[in-house]
Amino acid sequence: MIVLIVIALCILILYFYNIRTFTYWKVRGVKYVKPVLFFGTYTDMYLQKKSRSQIAEETYRKFPNEKVVGVFKSTIPELVIRDSNLIKRILINDFPSFYSRGLNHTNDVEIIRKHLFAIDGDLWRMLRQRMTPAFTSGKLKAMFPLIVERCEKLQSRTLSAVTSSHALDARELMARYTTDFIGACGFGVDSDSLNDENSAFRKLGVKIFNISLRDSIVLVIRDVFPYSEKYLKLLKRIEPDILLLVKNILTERNYKPCGRNDFIDLMLEYLNKPMEAESIEKVGENPIHVKMILNEGLFAAQVFVFFVAGFETSASSTSYTLHLLAFYPEVQKRVQADIDRILAKHDNKLSYEAVKEMTYLEWTFKEGLRMFPSLGFLMRRSTRKYKFEDINLDIDKGVNIVIPVQALHMDAKYWDDPDEFRPERFHPENFGATQKMVYFPFGEGPRNCIGSRLGLMQSMAGLAAILSKFTVEPAPETVRYPQISPKSNIIQSITGGLPLMFRERKQV
Ligand code: HEM
């Protein structure tokens, strides 16, 4: 009997603990999606039926007349922002109140989660300042010969597949190209992902994005009980691989820059030295400065994020652009003509200068990113109490913010015929202030993508390499509107890949 009472009491406590936040939006007069126990409004995400980006898009469409919509990530109140002025406030003007992505609850979890994308506050600011010099256009230009080398390998791998006259998975092909490039440019490791079927780097890339059922369960528990995080090691399966990889590279270089000017060299200059920045967390009349040492763990975490962010985003966007081009042969002809004309001017050689001149290719890639942004939504979390003056709404510290990028990119309010693939939208005469306010393939504000220039150039070079030699067409097994993987919760991916036919172009 006592046991039964204790069980009943536990269930009751759990129930009330779970629903404690569920009136959050109601009392504030915000329209909201009705939550359920444990999952909040994200049942389909936790059960791996829909991605977080798809859920954000559904919410956006369901409430066409609202500026904001309330949802619940498990028990955490979350606000989906539909209005472009409010988005600007959050991402740019009032950034000090939204500098967090809300990814780390306790800040003392796995070493490799202490990377630029996941961390918050002063540690983020110090690392962001420290890493920014690695991404200048000068550094990018210096790296470019390494990109060109990978482009040549990309062409020969594609050619060998063409002769076998089978469809080729564009997603896998581009992931191998970007993995190879990031390995070489970022870490001085010749991973040879393009040729070696069993490349350790490519295997690691696949392992990182392979979300298991265990991971999904861990995510629910972590969201329901945030303080359980330190016991639920989410990235446990890959942490040893990353730490070993970094340790090997450091040992090889004898813990000193070797003159390759890659990320490792740049960070090695600062290893075990203090980083300093003006505090974003503590605000007072006089600026407060904070200091921290860049130790080996933090170092490895940044290597990890550059690897992940550097290959998966570009692979997802370039392969989807190829998929769209296969269904728009007229656009493909135009982009090939643009590439051919500029290559002819540059001695038929890919170079930094040549790729920079390929304006139509740039519009084409940007249009691909509009229709399928690598990150379907942006996240922020309120870091203090905040008032949205325009709609007279007060929120507390710790509320999640979702900017539904995929939905904004496909809203007919901002884009004519949004389902049409039309690179001319990015002609400066057509791409006006209205579109700028809702186009976020690389995010916006102080926490935007640090590698946007590198990502753009790496992607354009890869596309130019393919399209200068090959034409893509749908294969019998190509699905016109491919399914977004319900497991892809940060970087969007496609279930079953993107099979395409690659035909060799006749050179005139
Ligand atoms: C086409 C390629 C790429 C796309 C579409 C892309 C997109 C994005 C987006 C949307 C964000 C979030 C921005 C925000 O919340 O406002 C982001 C953040 C980030 N990206 Fe990229 N990215 C790309 C390539 C790269 C590359 C090549 C690197 C580095 C090697 C990189 C490193 C990062 C990092 C470290 C962050 C976190 C920045 C911070 O929180 O301060 N990205 N990226």
DSSP states of 434-492 as a string? Answer: HHHTT--TT--GGGS-TTHHHHHHHHHHHHHHHHHHEEEEE-TT--SSPPBPTT-SSB-
Q: Residue 269: what pLDDT?
A: 84
Q: Are strands 68-73 and 378-381 parallel, antiparallel or unpaired?
A: unpaired
If you measure from the C-alpha of residue 457 to the centroid of ligand 1, how many angstroms do you get, rounded to a whole number? 14
| Cβ of 183 less than 6 Å from ligand 1 | no
| Cβ of 128 less than 6 Å from ligand 1 | yes
Domain total of the chain? 1
Dist CA 20 CA 7 (whole Å): 20
Which residue minimizes the CA distance to atom 7 of ligand 1? 442
Which residue minimizes the CA distance to atom 43 of ligand 1? 449
Q: Best mutation site among 146, 308, 442 for ligand 1, i.e. most ligand atoms within 8 A of its Cβ?
A: 442
Range of the domain at 471: 2-504
| Cβ of 460 less than 6 Å from ligand 1 | no
| Cβ of 454 less than 6 Å from ligand 1 | yes
Identify the H or E element spanning 403. strand 400-403
* C-beta of residue 485 within 8 angstroms of C-beta of residue 316: no
Which residue minimizes the CA distance to atom 18 of ligand 1? 449
DSSP states of 23-77 as a string? Answer: THHHHTT--BPPPBTTTBT-HHHHTTSS-HHHHHHHHHHH-TT-SEEEEEETTEE
Which residue minimizes the CA distance to atom 40 of ligand 1? 117
Residue with tokens 């209205």: 434
**What is the atom index within ligand 1 of the atom nearest the CA of 302?**
35
Residue with tokens 């820059």: 257
| Cβ of 181 less than 6 Å from ligand 1 | no
Dist CA 41 CA 62 (whole Å): 14
| Cβ of 443 less than 6 Å from ligand 1 | yes
DSSP states of 75-96 as a string? Answer: TEEEEEE--HHHHHIIIIITGG
Residue with tokens 């939208």: 425
Q: Which residue, among 467, 459, 464, 476, has the nearest Cα to 502 in the 3D structure?
A: 467
Dist CA 342 CA 165 (whole Å): 29
* C-beta of residue 104 within 8 angstroms of C-beta of residue 427: no
If you measure from the C-alpha of residue 419 to the centroid of ligand 1, how many angstroms do you get, rounded to a whole number? 25
Dist CA 403 CA 389 (whole Å): 18
Q: Best mutation site among 266, 312, 449 for ligand 1, i.e. most ligand atoms within 8 A of its Cβ?
A: 449
Q: Residue 506: what pLDDT?
A: 78
Angle value at C-alpha 20, between 19 and 26, nearest 5 degrees: 85
Q: The whole model's pTM is what?
A: 0.91
User: Can you give 189-243 as a three-state secondary structure string?
Assistant: CCCCCCCCCCCHHHHHHHHHHCCCHHHHHHHHHHHHCHHHHHHCCCCCCCHHHHH
Q: 239-252 and 296-327 are packed helices; what angle lies between their axes, rounded to 10 degrees? A: 110
Dist CA 298 CA 83 (whole Å): 37
If you measure from the C-alpha of residue 141 to the centroid of ligand 1, how many angstroms do you get, rounded to a whole number? 19
Q: Residue 292: what pLDDT?
A: 83
Task: Output the domain CATH number for residue 174.
Answer: 1.10.630.10
| Cβ of 305 less than 6 Å from ligand 1 | yes
Q: Are strands 274-278 and 400-403 parallel, antiparallel or unpaired?
A: unpaired
pLDDT along the chain (508 residues), means of 10: 87 83 95 93 90 95 97 94 97 95 64 79 89 86 87 91 84 90 76 63 64 64 61 62 81 85 82 84 77 84 82 93 98 98 96 96 98 96 95 96 98 97 97 96 96 94 97 95 86 91 83
If you measure from the C-alpha of residue 2 to the centroid of ligand 1, how many angstroms do you get, rounded to a whole number? 55
350 phi and psi angles, rounded to 5 deg: -70, 135
- In sequence order, what E strands does 131-205 have? 168-169
Helix (H, G, I), strand (E, B) or coil at 375: strand
Which residue minimizes the CA distance to atom 27 of ligand 1? 310
If you measure from the C-alpha of residue 152 to the centroid of ligand 1, how many angstroms do you get, rounded to a whole number? 25
**What is the atom index within ligand 1 of the atom nearest the CA of 131?**
35
Q: Residue 468: what pLDDT?
A: 97
Q: Which residue, among 110, 26, 78, has the nearest Cα to 378 in the 3D structure?
A: 78
**What is the atom index within ligand 1 of the atom nearest the CA of 263?**
30
Neighbours of 158 (CB within 10 A): 21
Q: Which two tokens stand for residue 172?
A: 């896998």
If you measure from the C-alpha of residue 344 to the centroid of ligand 1, how many angstroms do you get, rounded to a whole number? 33
| Cβ of 441 less than 6 Å from ligand 1 | yes
Q: Which two tokens stand for residue 96?
A: 């000090």
Dist CA 20 CA 95 (whole Å): 28
Q: Which residue, among 504, 444, 467, has the nearest Cα to 368 in the 3D structure?
A: 467
CA Rg value for the chain: 24
Q: 452-469 and 359-371 are packed helices; what angle lies between their axes, rounded to 10 degrees? A: 110
Per-residue CA distances from 30 to 33, 70, 188, 215 (Å): 10, 6, 51, 32
